[in-house]
Amino acid sequence: MAPNVSIPTGVLHENDDEVRANFIPPEVVKPSDRKLELVWRNIVLFTYLHAVAVYGLYLMFTSAKLVTSIYGILLYQMGGLGITAGAHRLWAHRSYKAKWPLKLILTAFNTLAFENSVIEWARDHRVHHKFSETDADPHNAKRGFFFSHVGWLLCRKHPDVKAKGKAIDLSDLEQDPILAFQIHQPRRKPDSLRARLGRRLAQLPPYLPLGLQDLRAGQVQRQLLGSLHRLLRQGRMGVRPQNCVRGHDQEEGEEDRRRHPRDLGVGRQGPAPGGLRGCPNYPQD
């Protein structure tokens, strides 16, 4: 499962050629009936975010400027490219090569999507492919539609997600200076302020000239980006990754990642030493 190679790796899943070539046996982790541990802070914040999105949609059709609505659609497309062409295809699967100008653009677009850093997104997606529909899958669909859509963000992560996440090789991403600039690592990076500033500045321009009502309307873009693609993920109808033809661009939740309370300035930050970073996507124990 280690894609730290000089050539693109294509699709990564439980039994792909590279897994077999590296003598990494496919893991079979049976889903358990483990009781979910709810995190009420996240429940409150996500409820707020979705409520604001509905209000923003109302403003979009009543009081927001036309240019704001057009700009919101443009931001939606930009954020989508940051996830699909960037975090998903370029970095999680290494399906193609890109020079630094394109990487920089895709990283900026990915930041606009409010779905955490590229490294965090790719880490979760590699774990999802390697241990699909098991307890090690962060958004295991066998736990139901709601869990795989948003419920997994409202509870503590399963121990298997932690354990298997530590085995995922992210050195190819961690060595990328552009991704290192994006990720928020205040306890380890001396230039974390620069990384934080880059993240915030990428989120700020849409709202500067548009006023308070347009700022609220801008929430729609974030909610659409996460919710729509989680819904699309459910269209797989039981098709597992090993049934895919290598190289086929199956949209397996490619944008099913999430906005997280970290975007509101809360939640723990920064990678923990030794593997699975203390990613705020999952509430910490």
> What's the confidence (pLDDT) of residue 169?
86
Structural domain includes residue 27: no
Query: Is residue 263 scored above 60 in pLDDT?
Result: no
- Half-sphere exposure of residue 51, counting CA atoms within 13 Å on the CB side? 6
Residue 213 to residues 55, 61, 64, 148, 262: CA-CA distances in angstroms?
10, 12, 6, 32, 23
Can you tell me which residue has the tokens 């949209």? 251
pLDDT by residue (tens digit) across 108-151? 888 888 788 899 889 889 988 888 888 888 888 888 899 988 89
Structural domain includes residue 250: no
pLDDT band at 105 (very low <50, low <70, confident <90, very high): very high
Structural domain includes residue 243: no
pLDDT by residue (tens digit) across 168-225? 888 899 899 999 888 754 444 434 434 454 455 445 545 555 454 455 544 555 555 5
Query: What does the mean pLDDT of the chain come to?
Result: 67
> What's the confidence (pLDDT) of residue 7?
46
pLDDT by residue (tens digit) across 236-250? 433 343 333 333 333
> What's the confidence (pLDDT) of residue 85?
96
Q: What percent of the chain has pLDDT over 90?
A: 15
Nearest 10 degrees: Cα torsion 240, 245, 251, 257? 60
Structural domain includes residue 137: yes
The domain of 225 spans 36-237
Residue 71 and residue 190 in contact, taking contact as beta carbons nearer than 8 Å: no
| Packing angle of the helix pair 219-233, 66-81 (nearest 10 deg) | 40
Residue 177: count other Cβ atoms within 10 Å of its Cβ.
Answer: 9
DSSP 8-state code for residue 155: B
Residues 6+ positions from 237 with CB-CB distance below 8 Å: none
Structural domain includes residue 126: yes
CA distance 127 to 255: 15
Structural domain includes residue 9: no
210 token code pair: 């548009």
* pLDDT: which is higher, 84 or 283: 84
Nearest to 123 by CA among 241, 247, 277, 17: 277
pLDDT band at 43 (very low <50, low <70, confident <90, very high): very high
**Number of domains within the chain:** 1
Structural domain includes residue 40: yes
Query: Is residue 97 scored above 80 in pLDDT?
Result: yes
Structural domain includes residue 213: yes
> What's the confidence (pLDDT) of residue 184?
53
